[in-house]
Structures are given as C-alpha cells and as structure tokens.
Amino acid sequence: MRRIRTALLSLMLAASAVACTSGSDSQGVGQADGGGAGTADESAGDSTEYQIDIWADNWMAVYVDGELIGEDSVPITTERSFNAETFTFRAAAPFTVAIEAKDFKESDSGLEYIGTDRQQMGDGGMIAQVTDTGRGKVVAATDDSWSALVVHRAPLNTECEKSADPDTTCESEIIDTPKEWTSADFNDRSWASATEWTSADVGPKGGYAEIEWDDGAKLIWGSDLKIDNTILFRKEITA
C-alpha cells in the first residue's frame, strides 16, 4: 500500500508541476496578448470627454474620427432654421472633427423661395468650438486653419437669381462627396482652407447668442457665402 501511495503521490506531484508550467506559459501568452488589449483599454481609459458647440446657417452634422456624434435637430427644410447645438463625446487626442454644413436651397439652382417674390440666393455660415469639459478649456475652434471642400456651388451665373425658370437657367458645380472623408486617415491636403467671415457678413441669429464663444472661434464658410451651398470641413485636434 505504501508503494501505491508513493506512486500516486509522485504522479500527483508530476501533474502539479506540469500544471504550473502550463499555467506559467499561459500567463506569459496572456500578458503578451493582454498588452495589446490593455493598451486599448488604457486608451479608452485615457480618453477625455469633450463638448462641441456649433451654430450653422442652416444645417450641420458633426463626426469625430468617422463616427457621427450629432446633427442639427431642426430639419434644413424649416424656414429660417438658424440653429445652435451642443454635443458631447469621448476621444483620445489626436482626433479629427469633420463637419458637413449646408445652406438651404430648394434645388440645384442654389435658390430659395423659388416662384415667390422672395426668390433669392441664400447665404451660409458656421462656427464651432471644442471644449475639454474636465478642464473647462477650449482646445479647438473654427478658423481658417480648417480644411474645406465645397461640394455644391450654385448659381454660378448669379444673374439668374430672378429667373422665372431657375432650374433651367441657373448653372451649378456639384462634385461627389469623397468616400471616408470623415475618417482620421483621410487625406485632405488638396482641400482649400476655410474662409473666415465676420458677424456683419453672416448675420448670425437663432441660437448664436446663446453660446459664449471663445475669442478664437471664427465664423467660417467657403470663399463665397452665397453660392457655396454645401461644404465639408475637417480639423485634426491634438490638444
């Protein structure tokens, strides 16, 4: 019986040693894999809460690193929809903010109030600022350092503004929206710089005054407030 017990004890000790060795190897693999997972978790843990305040004439949608975080709650078809919005999000710097901004137009003519005595070209404008909510610090704001791509321009022949048939007589320039333009990896080097405009130029209203704008936040648009109707904006934020 003693020999059996001794043999069993030897077998148990051997099994224990194998288990320990196996556990040690598994732990090593886990640490290696866990390094990547840990990094991802740490990135999530290191992310910061931000707030973006934005006003547009007439409509906007905001993306961070390719993800839609919010859009104008008022439909662009709402008459005189000058609206301000505030969205919160979490991100780890650097991250890219992409904004699609639209001035209302009834058709590709670029005009509004078509067929009425108010038929005219509209005008756009947009302003935004990003705040680190933990520090209460504005870390980015719209200015001419933002990249801009106008994807709808009309009317190119502004004399058609009062035409009885603007859809026929007004000329437009429309380009396809680039794929993945909201992503952080998108190359926008060929884009133009946004154009800064004054409050007198844009005439902001409808929520603009409800936000305390940082001194660095500027009203921006394309190079023409009236014929630039849809614009894509991008900015990498490093703070």
pLDDT in tens, 62-103: 999 999 999 999 888 776 677 899 999 999 999 999 999 999
The 3-state DSSP class for residue 106 equals coil
Identify the pLDDT of residue 75.
Answer: 84
Listed in sequence order, the DSSP H helices in the chain are 2-46, 166-169, 199-202
Burial of 131 (0-12, 13-18, 19+ CB in 10 A): buried
What would the mean pLDDT of 14-24 be, rounded to a whole number? 41
The rounded distance, in Å, linking the Cα atoms of 153 and 230 is 7
Triad 123, 155, 175: Cα angle to 5°: 95
* Pairwise pLDDT comparison (10 vs 196), residue with the higher score: 196
Identify the pLDDT of residue 19.
Answer: 41
The one-letter amino acid at 200: A
What would the mean pLDDT of 146-166 be, rounded to a whole number? 98
The yes-or-no verdict on residue 2 having pLDDT over 70 is no
- Residue 170 contacts by C-beta under 8 Å, 6 or more apart in sequence? 108, 109, 110, 111, 154, 155, 156, 157, 160, 163
- 38: pLDDT confidence band, cut at 50, 70 and 90? very low
Q: Residue 73 phi/psi, 5° resolution?
A: -80, -10
Identify the pLDDT of residue 28.
Answer: 33
Identify the pLDDT of residue 42.
Answer: 33
The yes-or-no verdict on residue 5 having pLDDT over 70 is no
Q: Which long-range contacts (CB under 8 A, 24 or more apart) does 23-30 make?
A: none
The yes-or-no verdict on residue 32 having pLDDT over 50 is no
**Mean pLDDT for the chain overall:** 85
The yes-or-no verdict on residue 176 having pLDDT over 80 is yes
- 45: pLDDT confidence band, cut at 50, 70 and 90? low
The yes-or-no verdict on residue 7 having pLDDT over 60 is no
What would the mean pLDDT of 147-175 be, rounded to a whole number? 98
DSSP 8-state class, residue 177: P
The yes-or-no verdict on residue 54 having pLDDT over 60 is yes
Percent of the chain with pLDDT over 90: 74
